[in-house]
Amino acid sequence: MTLVKVQGIVQLYREKPQVKITRIRNVSNEDGVSLTDFIRAAPIGSAELLEVIYRVIESISDPVIRDIVSFCVDKVSEKLAHYPAAKMHHHAYFAGLAYHIVRMLEIGEFLCKQRAFLKEDMIKAGIILHDIAKPEEMIAQLGVVTDYSVQGKLIGHIAMAAGWITEVALRLELPLDSQQVIGLQHLILSHHNLGEWGSPVQPQTAEAVALHHIDALDAKLQMAEDALNATSDKELWTQPVRGLENKALYRMSL
Among residue numbers 155 through 174, which ones bind a copy of itself (CB under 8 A)?
155-156, 158-159, 162-163, 166-167, 170-171
Residues in the interface with a copy of itself (CB under 8 A) total: 75
Q: Which is nearer to a copy of itself, 70 or 202 (CB)?
A: 202
Query: Taking CB under 8 A as the criterion, which residues in 62-91 touch a copy of itself?
Result: 62
User: Smallest distance from the beta carbon of 167 to a copy of itself, in angstroms?
Assistant: 6
Smallest distance, a copy of itself to C-beta of residue 69, A: 14
Interface of this chain with a copy of itself, residues 183 to 202, rule: CB under 8 A: 183, 185-186, 189, 193-202
Is residue 48 near a copy of itself by the rule CB under 8 A? no
The residue (of 24 and 236) whose beta carbon lies closer to a copy of itself is 236
If one asks whether residue 16 binds a copy of itself (CB under 8 A), the answer comes out as: no
C-alpha distances in Å from residue 175, one per residue of 76, 116, 152, 171, 182: 24, 28, 27, 11, 10
